[in-house]
Amino acid sequence: MRFIPFVLVAVSWATFAQERQLGMTLAEFDKAKAVEIRSGSPKQHFRSHGLSYRQHETPLSFQFNDGVEHKVSFYDITERTDQSTLGQLVVYSSQNRLVTLVLPNETSPKAVKEHFVADLKAKSLTNDGLGICVAFALSQAQPHSRTVLAHPQEFCFPAETFVNLIDGTEKKISGIKAGDEITGIRANRVEKVIVNEGVFSLTRLLVRPNGQAWVSTRNESGLLSLEVTPNHPVLTLLGKKRVEDLREGDWLFVRDAVTGRYLSAELTNIAPAFRTVDKVYHLQTEGGTYEAENIVVLNKH
């Protein structure tokens, strides 16, 4: 998998909250959702249904194993060009497909945010690559948590956790070395392997890929299983989340070992304090992501 460099635009809800006291209404959401883009990317600035749209920086560009370029662009949405943002229009393109999403700002009502989440889920299932690209953009825009920075050593996996290598094989994390090439949203090398000794409580996650039968050789339930310390960040449909902040029903991402495609997966069970171990491992990678037991996780920073 090859990743094309991009300039990332800050699209987090937290950023929007600082810019506008009032959030996006359902009527404004519907107006933005009704924007029609027929072919090619929209102009850097345009108006539609009484709202203004202005592009933010350079589009994100990805190329996965399918050899197809996937792009994501973000447009600030305002009522007038001199006003603060109501949210952003997300434009996803791949081959001849164009899909739009409306991302409301942080202060928008819960009902509006729920409309965005429902739309994102539906379109992720029918547009290969959309979910993982948008999720990664959101994860990069989110500020680091104070809790994360306060516990820099608690981002780890037990020794037997399998990590995917770029050659299609897998290796236990305890056997990974600096310089190894591993898979992730961005193909990358391992810069450093961090090993910690002590007493560490692990949380077990069970996930089921959406819309696809999945057979696991390491869990009797047939679900994918991951054991991890509570503070480790994983990639969810809405961006970065610590394991301890996850809820059953959240969507994560898994990598299909056969096709190399990234699939959304529903978190079906969370078991805090599942067991304890005396040694844990973490990877620092060039690309910022890797896969532990086929589940996409993030570097701690």
* Per-residue pLDDT in tens (0 to 9) along the chain, 301 residues: 444 444 343 444 444 444 445 789 999 999 999 998 776 556 788 988 889 999 887 888 887 777 788 888 899 999 865 578 899 999 999 887 899 999 999 999 999 999 999 999 999 999 989 999 999 988 877 554 434 444 455 579 999 999 999 988 999 999 999 999 999 887 689 999 999 999 999 999 999 988 765 555 566 566 899 999 999 999 999 999 999 999 999 999 998 877 788 999 999 999 999 999 999 999 999 888 999 999 999 987 6
Distance CA 21, CA 255 (A): 40
Element of type H or E holding 141: helix 130-141
CA distance 107 to 24: 8
Q: What are phi and psi of 230, to 5 degrees?
A: -60, -25
pTM of the full structure:
0.84
Q: Where in the chain is the domain with CATH 2.170.16.10?
A: 150-298
| Cα gap 160→162, rounded to integer Å | 6
The helix/strand/coil state of 121 is helix
**What CATH code is assigned to 150-298?**
2.170.16.10
pLDDT at 219: 60
> Which two three-digit tokens encode residue 264?
């959304």
Q: What separation in angstroms does the CA of 264 have from each of 2, 55, 127, 155, 212?
A: 20, 28, 11, 23, 10
172 C-beta neighbours (distance < 10 Å), count:
14
Q: In this structure, what are the phi and psi dihedrals at residue 111, rounded to the nearest 5 degrees?
A: -60, -35
